[in-house]
């Protein structure tokens, strides 16, 4: 299994290749990647990004986050697409809420955040843009937010579901972000210092199956089905067929 630190200066990296589809296909390696923000990539990290064949990076952070934490440090050859889930002052990443005194409050906060995702115009634009870029087939696509777990997690999960990946494998990939709790905790401390922001629980810094389920339940409430959600995103059957042709190797 590839190290989550392959992109030196970032963490929570992975190529989603190898996941299974409901009809026996396998997601191709080298097409869709995910990670934390790339704002601290060093020379080795940029070289690794180029070696992976990544041509397009989607940054789901808002302008205020980018101003506070720093822009991506990618090679000039890489196209960076700003696709913020939200973009107004005072909004932070889901894991950066200071008023969460205990685990139960943290879980409730994260469930509320995930329930918002399916109705956010910015999220819809981001997911649609990622799908369109994958379909264009010009190179590898990497999706990130701040920690690479919530906004990136929902975006990648939606793309994988659209391509026919099994629910089991979508969820397994999503939950792998729990391996990145420690580097995220260090990163939050480096940004916020000895403040309430740096005293977050694992429920905030990690991911849980019920977070993912909360977003999917909202999809069904708003649109009746996952297919209805794709329609609302502007991703029709023809586009999903093209997505699958690029992203998936069919079973022999």
214-247: per-residue pLDDT in tens?
A: 999 999 999 999 999 999 999 999 999 999 999 9
Q: Is 160 designated active site?
A: no
Over range 76-90, report the average pLDDT: 88
**Half-sphere exposure of residue 170, counting CA atoms within 13 Å on the CB side?**
22
**CB-based burial label for 207 (10 Å; 0-12, 13-18, 19+):** buried
pLDDT at site 207: 96
CA 239/CA 241 separation, integer angstroms: 5
Q: Give the per-residue pLDDT at 206.
A: 93
List 142, 145, 156, 163, catalytic entry: 145
Q: Which residue has the higher pLDDT, 186 or 42?
A: 42
Q: Between the CA of residue 67 and those of 39, 89, 188, 216, what are the distances in Å? A: 11, 11, 15, 31
Mean pLDDT of the chain: 92
Higher-pLDDT residue of 42 and 252 is 42
CA dist., res. 157 & res. 160, Å (int): 5
**CATH numbers and ranges of domains, the chain:** 14-244 (3.90.190.10)
Total count of residues recorded for the chain:
252
What phi and psi, each to the nearest 5 degrees, are found at residue 41?
Answer: -60, 135
pLDDT (0 to 100) of residue 195: 55
Closest CA to 79 of 53, 63, 50, 57: 57
The pLDDT-based confidence of 25 (bands split at 50, 70, 90) is: very high
Q: Return the top range by mean pLDDT from 79-88, 119-128, 191-200.
A: 119-128
pLDDT at 97 over 60: no
Stretch 70-90: mean pLDDT: 91
With the CA atoms of 133, 139, 143 and 148 taken in that order, what torsion angle do they form, in degrees rounded to the nearest 10?
160
Closest CA to 150 of 128, 178, 169: 178
Q: How confident is the model at residue 1 (pLDDT cuts 50, 70, 90)?
A: low
pLDDT at 204 over 90: no
Give the Å distances, CA to CA, from 252 to 121, 163, 164.
39, 18, 16
Which pLDDT value is given to residue 102? 78
pTM for this model (two decimals): 0.93
Per-residue pLDDT tens for 119-163?
A: 999 999 999 999 999 999 999 999 999 999 999 999 999 999 999
Comparing 99 with 170, the larger pLDDT belongs to 170
């Amino acid at each position: 299994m590839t190290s989550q630190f392959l992109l030196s200066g970032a963490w929570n990296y992975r190529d989603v290749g190898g996941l299974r589809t409901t009809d026996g296909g396998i997601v191709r390696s080298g097409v869709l990647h995910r990670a934390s923000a790339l704002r601290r990539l060093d020379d080795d990290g940029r070289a690794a990004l180029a070696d992976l064949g990544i041509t397009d990076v989607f940054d789901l952070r808002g302008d205020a986050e980018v101003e506070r934490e720093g822009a991506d440090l990618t090679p000039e050859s890489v196209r960076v697409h700003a696709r913020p889930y939200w973009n107004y002052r005072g909004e932070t990443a889901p894991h950066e809420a200071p008023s969460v005194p205990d685990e139960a409050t943290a879980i409730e906060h994260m469930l509320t955040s995930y329930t918002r995702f399916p109705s956010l115009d910015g999220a819809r634009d981001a997911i649609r843009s990622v799908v369109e870029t994958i379909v264009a087939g010009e190179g590898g696509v990497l999706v990130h937010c701040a920690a690479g777990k919530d906004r990136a997690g929902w975006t990648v999960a939606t793309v994988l579901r659209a391509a026919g990946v099994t629910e089991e494998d979508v969820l397994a990939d999503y939950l792998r972000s729990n391996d990145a709790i420690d580097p995220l905790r260090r990163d939050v401390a480096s940004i916020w210092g000895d403040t309430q922001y740096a005293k977050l629980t694992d429920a905030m810094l990690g991911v849980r199956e019920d977070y993912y389920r909360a977003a999917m339940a909202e999809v069904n409430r708003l649109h009746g089905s996952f297919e209805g959600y794709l329609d609302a995103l502007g991703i029709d059957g023809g586009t999903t067929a093209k997505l699958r042709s690029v992203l998936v190797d069919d079973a022999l």
